[in-house]
Structure 1
Amino acid sequence: MSKTSVTADIFSQISERERQALKRLADFSNVETLPEIWDLVAKRCGDTVALRDPHSKPEVVITHTQLLEKIKQFAAGLQALGVKVGDRLTLIADNSPRWFIADQGILMAGGVNAVRSSQAEKEELLFIIANSGSTALVVEDLKTLNKLRSRLNDLPIQFIILLSDEAPPSSETLKVLNFSQLMESSANHTLQPARQKRNDLATLMYTSGTTGKPKGVMLSYGNLMHQVTTFGTVVQPEIGDIILSILPSWHVYERTVEYYLLSQGCTQVYTNLRSFKKDLQQFKPNYMLGVPRLWESIYEGVQKQFREQPENKQRLINSLLAISDKYIKARRIAENLSLDHLDASAIARLSASIQASALFPLHALGEKLIYNKIREATGGKIKQMISGGGALPKHIDNFFEIIGVEILQGYGLTETSPVTNVRRTWRNLRGSSGQPLPGTENKIVDPETRKPLATGEKGLVLLKGPQIMQGYYQNPEATAKAIDAEGWFDSGDLGWVTPEKDLVLTGRAKDTIVLSNGENIEPQPIEDACVRSPYIDQIMLVGQDKRSLGAMIVPNLEALQKWAESHNLELCIQDDNVTETTSQKINLESKMSQDLFRQELNREVQNRPGYRADDRIGPFKLILEPFSLENGMMTQTLKIRRHVVMERYHDIIDGMFA
C-alpha cells in the first residue's frame, strides 16, 4: 500500500477533532524516516530546550538546534568509522541525553540499532549482539564494556563507542573511542545522507522468548513514523511543554512516545526513582509516561500522608473521598462513559446526572480542601499522564479522576511499536484501553476456532495496522505464528470491544506475564526450574498486572508425606484446623509446610541461569486438585490451559495478592 493510500485510509476513520489534531503534524507528511524530523523541529523551535538532565554533573541542557547538530556529529563519526546503510550496531545503555543522540545518530548514519539496558544480564546481551549480527557496539561506560569484553573476540565487532568520557583501555585490541573522541572525529567527515525509506528496518527490539532466548522484533521506519504521525490524536502539546522521563528510553513505549513529544518541540527532563518526587515539584511537568506501578507509588505516598493526619482529619478525608467516588461514577453514567452501564437508558443517565449535580458541592469541597494540594505535589501543571505496560488498577484510575489528574490508559506490545489503542481526553472510558489509533483495527476471535466474535463477546484480541512489526529477526517460524496471512497480529490477550470500539482487556491467552512495573516475564522457564523440587508436582505462575509473581502449586503428596515423617509429624490433608502448635499433625497451610515451599521456590528460582529480581515468586497457594485433561485445565498436549486455571481459581488468586 502506498504512503498516500495509507494516509487517506487513516483520515477516513477518524473524527473531526482528531483530524484537526493531525493537521499539526502536516510538516511530516513527506518525511520517510525519523532522523529527518529533527531538522524540521530545529527550524520551528530551535532555541527551545529539548533534553535536560539535572542529575548529571555538570547538568546537561541541550536545545533542539544543538540536539540536531549532536545527532549529525554522532552519525558522521560512525560513518567515518565505516558504518554503512543497513549495518547493525548494538546500543547498550540507559536513560540519558547521550542515549538519544546515539539512538538517532545510528539511524541517521544508516545503521540499524539493537537496544538494551546496560543492567541486563551478560548472557542476554551477548545473545543480542550475536543474533543481531552487530559489527559495532555503543555502550554506556567501561563497566558495561568490561562485563562483555571476554567474549567479544568471538564476535565480528569492529569497534566500540563509550557513551562516557572515560579513557579507553590502552591495552585494548579492539578499536575503542569515548563519546568526545567520536564527536571530534566527525570534524573531518562530511555526513552522507542515508536515503532510506519507510519500509527499511530501523531497529531491533528484543523481547522475552518462551525458551529463554529473546526474539528480535523488527520495527521499520514506517512502524515508528506511524506512532509519531498519529499520536497527535491523543495529546496535543505546546512547544516548550515539559515531559518528565523516568521509564527506560530503550523500552518501545517510552521510546516512541518520546519521539512524538520531542517532535512537537517539548522539553524532556530526565529523572529517576530517587529524585522523582522532588523533580515533580521542581520541573512541574505537563506530561508523564508511566506504568501502573509508578502511579501506585504516587497513590501510596498520598495515602501514607493521610494516615499521618489526626483521626478527625482522616475521617473527613475518607468521607470526602467516598462522596467524590460516588460523584465520578454518577458523572460517568451521565456522560455514557461508565463501562458497567454502557447500555444505560436515557432515564438512567438523567438520574445519574441529577445525582452527580447533588454530590458536586461536596466534591468541590474536597477539591478545595484536599485534591488541589495533592495536584500541587505533582507540580500542579499535568495535562495528561499516559499509562501503559499493564492494566491500570480500578482504584488507581478512580483516585486520579477524583483529584483531577487525567490518566490516558493505552495498550500495545513491542511487536506493535507499541501503541494500538489509547483512551482520549474526550473518550476516557475508565476500565478500557481506549479506541484504536488511526489506521489500526481490532478484531476479537474465538481462541480455539479463530472465528470472529460479535461486539461485546470476549475472545482473543487480534491487531492490524501500519505499526505491526515486520516480523521476528531470523525467526520465520515465530513470525508465522504471530502474524497470519492477512496481516493480523495475535496479541495473546483476551478481551472484548464496545460498540464505540473501545478495547477492554480481560486476561492473557499467551503465557507472558506483565508485572505492574512493565516487566515481561516468561513463566515456562521459571516453572521448569521449580518442578525440580521433589515437593512440587505442578506449578503455574500468576501475577498479571501485579507487583510480583505468584504461584499456584500442586504439591507432591508422597514426597511431602516422607518429609513430614522425617520430622515425626503426620501430614493431615483434610483437617484445615490442625497446626503443629496444637498437635503433631500438620497441613498444607501450616507454617512448617509454607516455610518448606518458600525455601524450595527461592532455591530453585535463584539457582536458575539468568535469574533476575523480577523472577522472584511472592505469594503462593498449595492446591490439591492436579491440572489434568479430565478437569479441563490441560490441553491434549499436556500444557496448562492458563486462562482456564485463572478462571477456576480467580478468587483464590485475587486473595493471594490482596
Structure 2
Amino acid sequence: MVFGFLLSSGLGPRRRRAVKCSVAQDVAVSVGDGKSVAKKDVSVSTYPQSPVMDVMEMAVESSSWKCVAQHFQRNAKYDGLSMIDEHHGDPVRWTHREAYVQICMFAAAMEELGVKKGDVVSIFSESSARATVADAGILFVGGASAARGGTAPVEELKYIYEHSESVGLVVESRRVLRKMLKILPLGKVKFVVLLLGDLPEEALESGVKCYTFAEATELGRENAQPETREIKAERGGLAAMLYTSGTTGHPKGVPLTHDNLLHQVKHVSMGAADPRPGETFLSILPVWHIFERTGQHFFSARRAAIAFTNTKNLRNDLRKHRPEFLVGVPRVFDVIYTGIMNKMERESTLKKAIFFLFYWISKKRVLARRIVLGYAKTKEAPPLMKKVLGLIVMVLLTPLDLLAQVLVWKKIREGLGGRHKGSICGGGALASHIEDFYEAAGLDIYVGYGMTETSPVICNRSSEQNVRGSVGLPITNCDVKVVDVESGVEVERGEQGLVLARGPQVTAGYYKNEEANEKSFIDGYIDTGDLGWWSSTGDLVISGRQKDVIVLSNGENVEPEIIETTITESPAIDQVMLVGQDERHLGALIVPSVEFLNSKGWVDQEQVQYMLEAQKQKQLRRLEEELEQNPDLKSYYDDELSVRVRQRPGYRPEERVAKWKLLLEGFTQENEMMTQTLKVKRPVVCNAYEKEIAALFSP
C-alpha cells in the first residue's frame, strides 16, 4: 500500500494504465520496453491519447514522406505557432501556415537561382528561424545543406564549401560574408543569401548575386505555390552534409540522407513524455550540430513550436516562453545548475541552510527510489535486502521530500518556466551530481547517445525507464553490440567493450574519405569509438573513449592527436596526452623533458635519476608536487601550452588547454601505457591517473 502511494504520488515514474491499440499496417513501433515489432495487425500496449500513439501515427504517416522537412507542409493545415525568434533580426512569431509559406518562397528563390536536385548549398549560421527556413527551402527543391557555424575559422569554412562542392552560400552575418567573399573562388558561387542585416558594399561589388533574406523570399514569392508545391527530394537523396573532426587536420564530411533523418523522426521517443501539438521546444544549440538539427525535425513533426534562444537570453526565455522541453548538451544543464547554486550561495545563512538540507533529503530519496524501482545504474540487479532498505528510506523521507517540493523545488521549477515536461541531453555524458540535482527538483532529463554519423540517436532514455547514469535503450531498428576491443567478440552483460552500431540512421560513409571509412566501419557496423557496458536493466552505459576524439560538454569535438603533436614540438615537453571528455575545457597530462628541467635548475642530478629510473614512486609524486608549486615552472608551462596551441594552423577556441598536470613517469610499453607501435593507450592512462584527471576539472 505504501509502495503504491509512493508511485502514485507523482514522485515515482509517470505511468498510465495501458490499453490495447491495433495498427493494421507494416510499421515498426517503439513500445515501453524499448523493443520493436514489425508485422501486420500489431497489437501493442499504449496509453489513451498518449504520445506513444503519436509514435505509431508518425511511423505510419512519415513512411510516405520523401523529405525530412515534409512535416512543415503537413503542419500548414493546422492552427498553432511554428517558430518564435526574437533574437535574430526582426522578431518573428510564425504560425505553421506562415512558416510553410516562408519555406515555399525560399524554395522558389532557390529554383530561380539555379539550385537543382542533388546540389549542395553551404549554410554558415547559428540557429534561427531564418536558418531553419533556408535549410527547409533547400530540401524542398531536392538540394542539401553543408552546415557549420559562422564562428569557425574562415579556412575551415572555405574547406567545407569546396569539399562539399557547394553551389551557393547562406551566411548569418555581414562579418562572415565579408570574410568568405575574400577567400572563396567567386566563380564557384552562384549566389549568396545574408540572413541578418543589410548587404555590405563588398557584396554589392563582388559580381555575385547577393540577397538579404527578405530579398530572397520576395524573389520566390510569385512562384512559391504553397497550395500545389511539389517537394522534389527523394528519400535516398542527400539531406545534409555535416562536418566532424578529422585526423588530417580537415573535418570529415558526413553525408546524411532523408532516410537517415526520417528514421529519427519516426522512432525516437521519450515514451509518455513525448511532445504534443502546441507545446514548446526551446532551441539553444547550433543548427549545424546534428543533435539540434534532428531535434528541430522531431519536435516540429509533432507540431510543437520552436522558440529560438541563445546563452545570453536563456534565463529570460525560460520564464517568458515557459517551454515544456529544452534540448541541450551537458554544458547547458551545468550552466543552469551553477546559476541556481551561485544564487543560493548569495542568500542568507538561514535560507542557504534550509535549501541544502532539503536538497540532501530529496537527493537521498531519489537515490533510494532508483534502487527500489530497479533504475540504479548497476551491473547486477540489487539484492532484495538492499531494495527493502531503500524502501524504508523512501517511506521515512517522503513526507519531508513533499515539503521540499513545496518550499524549494516548486520555486526552482517556476524559474525554469513552470511547465517543464522533459529535457533531452546529448553530446556527452551528464555528470552524476547534475543528474541527482534535476531529479531531486522533479525535472526529468532524458539522456540520449549517438554521433553525427548516426543522425545522431543510437540509444535514449524514456519516462518509462529513465536509468540515470545510462544512455538508455537502443531505439527501434538500431542494432547495438558491445565487443571486446581486441577480439571483436561480444562481451557479457556488465563487461566493458567497444560500442558498435548499425541501422537505417547510420551514414553510408564519409564523403570522399575512403581511409576514414576503412577505419570506422566493421562488418556493417560503425565503430563509435566509445567504451561501454550493458547494465542490469539492459541500458547502455558509456564508460570512456577508445578513439581519440574528445567531446567537450558543449558538444564540440576536438581531435587531440594534432594538438598533441604541436605541443610536443616544445623542447620542454617529451610526451603529452589531452583529456577533457564531457568537460568544459581541455586538460593535459604532461611528461616534461628531464634534460630541460635540469637545464633550468628546477631538478638536480639525483632527482633526474629518480625520473629516469621511474621506480621510486613516492619520491616522484613528492617531486611532482614540489615542481608544480614552483611559480617560474608553472608560468613557463602555462605560456608554452598557450603559445604552442594558439599558433597552430586552424586553431579553435575550444582547443585551449586550461589546466595541466605534470607527470614525471613517462608513458612506456613497460608500464603498459603504450602500444608496440608506440601509441599512447588512452584508456589505460585515464584509468591510471583517474584521480589526477578528476582534480584538473574539480571546481
Task: Work out whether 1:379 is the aligned partner of 2:417.
Answer: yes
Aligned to 1:81: 113
Mapped contact 2:379–2:493 kept (Cα < 8 A): no
Aligned to 1:120: 152
Aligned to 1:654: 694
| Shift of residue 224, structure 1, vs aligned partner | 0.4
* 1:491-539 residue CA offsets vs partner (Å, 9 max, x unmatched): 0000001244311010000001111111111101111111111100000
Aligned to 2:64: 30
Mapped contact 2:377–2:467 kept (Cα < 8 A): yes
Task: Work out whether 1:465 is the aligned partner of 2:499.
Answer: no
* 1:320-366 residue CA offsets vs partner (Å, 9 max, x unmatched): 22122211111111111111375123343233222201111111121
* 1:563-609 residue CA offsets vs partner (Å, 9 max, x unmatched): 22799xx98974877899xxxxx735422222211111011011111
Q: 1:519 aligns with which of 541, 553, 556?
A: 556
Give me the whole-angstrom Cα distance separating, in 2, the residues matched to 1:161 and 1:377.
Answer: 38
Secondary structure of 1:240's partner?
coil
Mapped contact 2:238–2:258 kept (Cα < 8 A): yes
Q: 2:404 aligns with which of 366, 375, 392?
A: 366
Give me the whole-angstrom Cα distance separating, in 1, the residues matched to 2:342 and 2:197.
Answer: 42
Aligned to 2:644: 604
Mapped contact 1:555–1:624 kept (Cα < 8 A): yes
Task: Work out whether 1:620 is the aligned partner of 2:660.
Answer: yes
Aligned to 1:11: 37
Secondary structure of 1:564's partner?
coil
| Shift of residue 312, structure 1, vs aligned partner | 2.9
| Shift of residue 638, structure 1, vs aligned partner | 1.1
Mapped contact 1:75–1:105 kept (Cα < 8 A): yes
| Shift of residue 5, structure 1, vs aligned partner | 7.7
| Shift of residue 382, structure 1, vs aligned partner | 0.4
Aligned to 2:253: 216
Secondary structure of 1:386's partner?
strand
After superposing the two structures, state which structure 1 stretch, 239-248 or 166-175, moved more: 166-175
Mapped contact 1:90–1:113 kept (Cα < 8 A): yes
* Aligned pairs for 1:438-587 within 5 A: 438-485=476-523, 487-564=524-601, 574=619, 587=627
Q: 2:166 aligns with which of 125, 134, 157?
A: 134
| Shift of residue 424, structure 1, vs aligned partner | 0.5
Q: 2:233 aligns with which of 196, 204, 208?
A: 196
After superposing the two structures, state which structure 1 stretch, 556-565 or 155-164, moved more: 155-164
Give me the whole-angstrom Cα distance separating, in 2, the residues matched to 1:200 and 1:10.
Answer: 26
Give me the whole-angstrom Cα distance separating, in 2, the residues matched to 1:480 and 1:493.
Answer: 17
Give me the whole-angstrom Cα distance separating, in 2, the residues matched to 1:170 and 1:444.
Answer: 56
Percent of aligned positions that are identical: 37
Task: Work out whether 1:295 is the aligned partner of 2:333.
Answer: yes
After superposing the two structures, state which structure 1 stretch, 549-558 or 273-282, moved more: 273-282
Q: 1:58 aligns with which of 90, 107, 125?
A: 90
2:669 counterpart letter in structure 1 = L
Aligned to 2:473: 435
Aligned to 1:310: 348
Mapped contact 2:370–2:376 kept (Cα < 8 A): yes
* 1:208-247 residue CA offsets vs partner (Å, 9 max, x unmatched): 1122210000101011001111124544212111111111
Query: TM-score normalised to the size of structure 2?
Result: 0.88
Give me the whole-angstrom Cα distance separating, in 2, the residues matched to 1:124 and 1:84.
Answer: 25
After superposing the two structures, state which structure 1 stretch, 609-618 or 194-203, moved more: 194-203
After superposing the two structures, state which structure 1 stretch, 15-24 or 530-539, moved more: 15-24
Secondary structure of 2:291's partner?
helix
Which sections of structure 2, spanning at least 5 residues, go unmatched? 1-24, 612-618
Give me the whole-angstrom Cα distance separating, in 2, the residues matched to 1:133 and 1:256.
Answer: 23
Query: TM-score normalised to the size of structure 1?
Result: 0.93
Give me the whole-angstrom Cα distance separating, in 1, the residues matched to 2:436 and 2:603.
Answer: 52
After superposing the two structures, state which structure 1 stretch, 32-41 or 150-159, moved more: 150-159
1:427 counterpart letter in structure 2 = Q
Secondary structure of 1:113's partner?
strand
Aligned to 1:148: 180
Distance change in 2, residues 1:411/1:648 (3 Å): same
Secondary structure of 2:241's partner?
strand
2:521 counterpart letter in structure 1 = I
1:625 counterpart letter in structure 2 = E
Mapped contact 2:172–2:195 kept (Cα < 8 A): yes
Distance change in 2, residues 1:290/1:498 (3 Å): same
| Shift of residue 426, structure 1, vs aligned partner | 0.9
1:11 counterpart letter in structure 2 = V
Mapped contact 2:105–2:223 kept (Cα < 8 A): no
Mapped contact 1:455–1:497 kept (Cα < 8 A): yes
Aligned to 1:163: 195
| Shift of residue 19, structure 1, vs aligned partner | 5.7
| Shift of residue 278, structure 1, vs aligned partner | 1.2
Distance change in 2, residues 1:224/1:575 (3 Å): closer
